[in-house]
Amino acid sequence: MESNAGKPRGLLYPRADPRDFVHVRVLPAQDLRPWVEHFWAVRWDLRGQPPSLQQTLPHPSVHWTFQDGTSRIGGVNRDRFSITVEGLGGVFGIKFRPGGFFPFVGTPMSALTQRTVPPAPLLGPAARELEAAILATDVTRDADAERIALAEAFLRAHRPAPDPNVARVQGLITRILEDRAVTKVEDLLTPDAPGLRTLQRLFNRYVGVSPKWVIQRYRLQEAAERLRESPPPELARLALELGYFDQAHFIRDFRRVVGHTPAGYARQAARR
């Protein structure tokens, strides 16, 4: 297993003490990387402690999660994701690359946006067998290598045919993620890229959200990370760097998605 899947991005309040809350991220085998970003597992033991609220700004990715005796396929979540964990528990998940789940099912990803569904109707009866095998390992305990081996065997058995649009969409999303100069959809319209309408159709079909949404989500993830710095950056400068015309629009978008103004979030994060 290759455990270095990079630094997690999108966590709003990273836990300072990892002893009671373990978050593992493992890269897939090389042959599955066109479709799978990483496998992940979260385990917690908060027995004797108060419940803990965990919040993230989700990525434009589909997840297959295994927890509490069942599994679910979750499409892109446009909203802030919040979950309260308590007692002893765990979750194992497969995070597909943006656009990477579509070839397995051929269903427009917009049909999954803001939804979680059982996997068998999409992936067939073998999905129930994988669910049973993974859940038999007890996701509250460290058995990540076994779960990953089971998941990789399933994915290889259902490996989709090559689809050039997957690489095309993923290249655009990688550019959005890594190039801070991309602050609006028009920045993606290079001579060798699809036109605007084609781009929107591709994202709707393969990702489930618009390119504009992806740009804003990655910029707000970056904003949250920057606001956890000590001291946090000056808001007007941060807004400009993220592509906002003025500070007021930045504050409005940040508050709508995160639930706090940028200044309020910085104060909250500093107290954690």
Model pLDDT for residues 182-197, shown as the tens digit of each residue: 999 999 988 777 789 9
Show me where the domains of the chain are located. Answer: 18-157, 164-271
Mean pLDDT within 193-210: 93
Question: pLDDT tens, 51-92?
Answer: 988 999 999 999 999 999 999 999 999 999 999 999 999 999
The whole model's pTM is what?
0.94
Question: pLDDT tens, 138-160?
Answer: 998 999 999 999 999 999 999 99
pLDDT for the residue numbered 17: 59
Model confidence band, residue 18 (pLDDT cutoffs 50, 70, 90)? low
pLDDT for the residue numbered 117: 98
> What is the fold of 164-271?
Arc Repressor Mutant, subunit A (1.10.10)
> Which class does domain 18-157 fall in?
mainly beta
Helices of type H across 163-261 = 164-178, 196-206, 211-227, 235-241, 247-258
Lowest average pLDDT, out of 3-7, 195-199, 225-229, goes to 3-7
Model confidence band, residue 245 (pLDDT cutoffs 50, 70, 90)? confident
Distance CA 99, CA 97 (A): 6
Helices 247-258 and 211-227 cross at an angle (nearest 10°) of 90
